[in-house]
Chains A and B, each alone.
Chain A
Amino acid sequence: MQIADRIVLDQRSTYILPTKAGFLLILIILLMMIASTNYQNNLAFLLTFLICSIGIVSIVFTFKNLQGLAFELGKNQSVFAGEQLNFNFHVSSQSGSPHLGIAVGFDKKSLFYLDLLSSEGKLYNKKTFILSVKVEKRGWYSAPKIVTTSCFPFGLLKVWSWFKFKSPVLIYPQPIEPEESVINRIANDDGDSNNRTANEETEYDGITAYKIGDPISRVDWKATAKEQGMYIKSFTSMTVNESAFSWDDFSNVEYELRLSYLCYLVLNANDQKKMFSLSLPGLFVSKDSGENHLIKCLANLALFKLDELL
């Protein structure tokens, strides 16, 4: 079994066996053989051997249908523990030739199929498989081994192969809303910032030169009257919109649950477009906002003391 992030199927790891239909064909060929011999009919013999040869040739082509397929790990979005991970990877043809009726799955019972058929003039021919899997634990998640199989062209034979992707997907902790009772300090902080946010007052910050587009209501007419040019009053927004989340915000709460609470709070803060910082034992993410900051915090939560816990 190959383990890598880009897997090209070759002969070594590919297996082949006749399907039920394949066995039926063998039976029918035997019957045809008997009938041909009985009537000593050369055309009947020829037909029998033709069908036989097609069966033989289809061995090669069934094999070919998997060989040269390249599976490549896709860009997997991190999800939260307890959610469905849409584990995706791409399939393409190494040789550029079409491959049809390709199936993949984590087991042979629940398979997903697609056709890889090159359309004219297109060089890059890539399709995506998504296997949904429920992830339970935070941290690095390695997808289980994947089976790929195909019966194309005639369904007389079945080839299959197993492989596994090397790179894991990061799973964030499950966000859980903390109960009031377990929160230590955070309430004050939160409340404080809320108050400030509510107070949408601004402070006078002096006057600046007028530019096209500035609101006329803010023009400092006093200064303008002095014929020093047009000036407007300028204000600085003083809205404070920030939180600091810490490992120590909760008491008497076990490790994982703490992480889940923090995860919830972080997400919540991000939704409200607040700035926030995160402190964990031995780790501090300074105050910031935005997507990258969120991802950084979540990643730290996901990976926090993973080695020790496992």
Chain B
Amino acid sequence: MSVPSFQALSTDQVSIEEINRRPIKITSVLIAHQLVLIPLYFFLPFWIFVFNSTVLSLVYLSQVKNKFNLIKGLKVILTLVAVAGVFASFHRLAGRDAGVSLIAIMYGLKIIEIESKRDVYILMLLGFFLLLATFLFSSSALIAIYQFIPVLAILYALQSIHRIDDGNSYRSTGVVSNRITFFNSSSRYLFSQLVKYLMLALPIMIVLFLFFPRLSGPIWKMPGNKNATSGISETMTPGAISSLHLSDEIAFRAKFYGDEPTGSEFYWRTLVLDTFDGLTWTHVNNVISDNWAKERNSPFQKIKTIEKIKSNQSTDLSTDTNRNYRYEIALEATQQNWLTFLDKPSRVISIAKVLNDASVSTTRKLFARIKYRAESQTGLSFNKVLQSRSLYTSLPKGYNPRSMSWAKKEREKSKTDEQFIQSILKKIHQEEYFYTLSPPVMDENTVDSFLFDEQKGFCEHYAGTLVFLARAVNIPARVVIGYQGAEKNLLSDYWIVRHSNAHAWTEIWFAGKGWVRVDPTAAIAKHRIEEQLLTDYAQRGNLFESFEFDSINVGDIPFSKQFEFWLDQLDSGWNNWFLEYNLILQKQLMTSLGLDKLSREQIALLSLLAIIVFMLFINMNWRFKKGKTSILFIAIRLLNKKLSKYNIKIQSNHGFDEFLSHLKLGNTHPINDSSQVKLSQKSIRRLETLLQFYLSIRYSQNNCSIEEQKAFYARVKKLKLSRSAK
């Protein structure tokens, strides 16, 4: 018995209890979760990908498809398996690779128990940290761009657990909702909102990135990962290698200012191996260059001049081979101390020390990419006065007796040291010496077995042998390790040098000339070079004289190559503009903005202030958009603003027709404000035509077009009002 209700109350509200009862919408969470993990899989052992995918499919089948229930202890078991797996792969659990592997697996396992919103939060927010872990492996622009996708996915997942009504019938409780409601109209709206949030976050991010005070240096040293980067090695043991794999990874990029070297000039020097123990060549000499040491007194000078070649020193060399190159090298992390230069550098930056064998090393190992400028003159010999001659002529006793005696015999036949070296090169060219990347393994007397028995090897064998033979007859000689050749990015103006360009050659000291570069590998006859090698590593072709380096037009290069160049260009630009930014550049930026006198705290405060101002701006922007953002609406607001100067107000419930009739009556009309200023007749007429125009576009047709709205806006903007003369 009650008063009959006039209308049934319908509502869309959902109680908190019902929301808590609802199954978590797991699909968007799972998608975000996988998107976070995908880039990591490229850097972690393959089995981790398999493991995580298995976990994912288990969870998908049980939680989303409801095929079966997972057993309770599963997570513990899987965790133990995973930890054991990581230990088996890395033999430890600390360190970057092992650590990140462990985190990735734990993160992969976390989806087994998503029971509450709390689990979703933890999973999604930890995802941000996982994204960061990817950057420890790669700084590639592609990955950085990709990372926006998981960020969006995480935000979408977070957002969607706050939606109450997603079009699914939740009311039937207990049933796991698995319908993907992506991209119905409201989801589209939410997604567009996300993009908007992201766009608004970007300026704040840039401010923080540029100005947020940074701490220098690592907070703690991470256990090293020596195997991480493949590069040139600091030792050389020719006989021990049975197969050499040349990686296509980029070693460095070089950009020339002014002249660019030609084919045979591309000898990039990195380090010198001066000591041979019978099996292995190592670097021993660490004597700092005299000239460099002299100029060290002015430590803040950025460009150091070393080995300034005076004109009198180069009289004996033909000037046409003596060319000066200015260039910039962006060297990828090597985990070593050595810097690479084109031939012998004449100027280097201050952070390096220059040894007297013209190799340059840094005080810290290069764990990150470094960029430096230098100047080189190719074709020059140097060190006319030989220091530590004994170092460059010593050989271990008792090794390679056949080569020893052969060298001595051969020296006697030759008139000069140069002729002796020439005769060796001639031997290599004319006899059956082969160039191969899979040489046979050689035992103790590696030089002997290479020179007389096997006659097969790669650059290290040839360089090692030549130096051995030279030293055998007391000619100072040394092995130089570096890169040979370069590939020009045809879409841009820089050169790419890859690890596959790694090379070993020799330097022989001739009295009166100094150290001269001799490359025995180049002496091999072309037909004795493995064909496979030539096609695979075509850029090394110019090493062998008979191979012509054709100039290629961009149009001719295959698309795949073009794409490769393009990618590399992107990556290079990325490096130049972004990855280089550091403490020093931050300081420079501050100086140029005149902010350098501020303390860190002040700068932090300033950034905060800027962010707050920005947020207020967003807020205002929002207010501006309030109401319907039609052009008409904005125009009417502008009109109101103009009228308010005369204390005239258009009531929200008054039509313009009515407003006009009131206006004509002035402040005598009771509706109008008594302080209303009487407008001149002309103004009233103008207002009348304007509002008549509004009425006609607004009401005399179904809908008014954008053009008409714009026209109205323009007319409002032009409207000039004046008060009555009286």
Contact = CB atoms under 8 A, between A and B. Distances in A.
A touches B (Cβ under 8 A): yes
Nearest to B208: A49
Contact of B627 (A44, A48, A95, A129): A95
Nearest to A175: B1
Given A94-B626, A101-B163, A117-B165, A56 B615 contact: yes
Contacts of B202: 50, 53
A301 interface: no
B656 to A, nearest CB: 20
Interface string B167-192: 00000000000000000011001100
Given A60-B618, A77-B5, A101-B163, A44 B136 contact: yes
A118 B611 CA distance: 31
A58 B1 CA distance: 51
A44 B217 CA distance: 14
B204 A36 contact: no
A115 B165 contact: yes
Nearest to A156: B158
A129 B11 contact: yes
Contacts of B117: 155
Interface string A240-264: 0000000000000000000000000
A298 B4 CA distance: 13
B363 interface: no
Nearest to A64: B622
B201 A53 contact: yes
B671 interface: no
A41 B139 contact: yes
A258 to B, nearest CB: 19
Contacts of A38: 218-220, 222
A101 B132 contact: no
B144 interface: yes
A136 to B, nearest CB: 17
A79 B5 CA distance: 10
A96 B189 contact: no
B368 interface: yes
B129 A53 contact: no
Interface stretch (A26-34, A190-198, A224-232): A26-34
A7 interface: no
Contacts of A63: 619
A133 interface: no
Nearest to B212: A49
Contacts of B368: 40
Interface string A35-53: 1111111111111111111
B595 interface: no
A47 B134 CA distance: 11
Contacts of B215: 37
Given A44-B135, A115-B163, A291 B4 contact: yes
Interface stretch (A146-154, A206-214, A215-223): A146-154
A186 B4 CA distance: 26
Interface in B2-26: 2-6, 9-16, 19
Contact of B162 (A29, A117, A152): A152
A113 B165 CA distance: 9
Contact of A42 (B19, B128, B218, B581): B581
A1 interface: no
Contact of A112 (B15, B121, B155, B622): B15
A285 interface: no
A4 interface: no
A68 B619 CA distance: 12
Contact of A45 (B161, B209, B627): B209
Contacts of B243: none
Contacts of B3: 77-79, 172, 294-295, 298
Given A43-B139, A46-B205, A110-B15, 6 more contacts: A44-B136, A68-B626, A79-B3, A86-B9, A117-B186, A153-B158
23 contacts: A24-B122, A29-B128, A39-B136, A42-B139, A44-B132, A44-B135, A46-B209, A49-B205, A49-B209, A50-B202, A52-B204, A57-B204, A64-B622, A68-B626, A100-B190, A104-B13, A113-B164, A114-B164, A117-B186, A120-B185, A128-B11, A129-B13, A130-B9
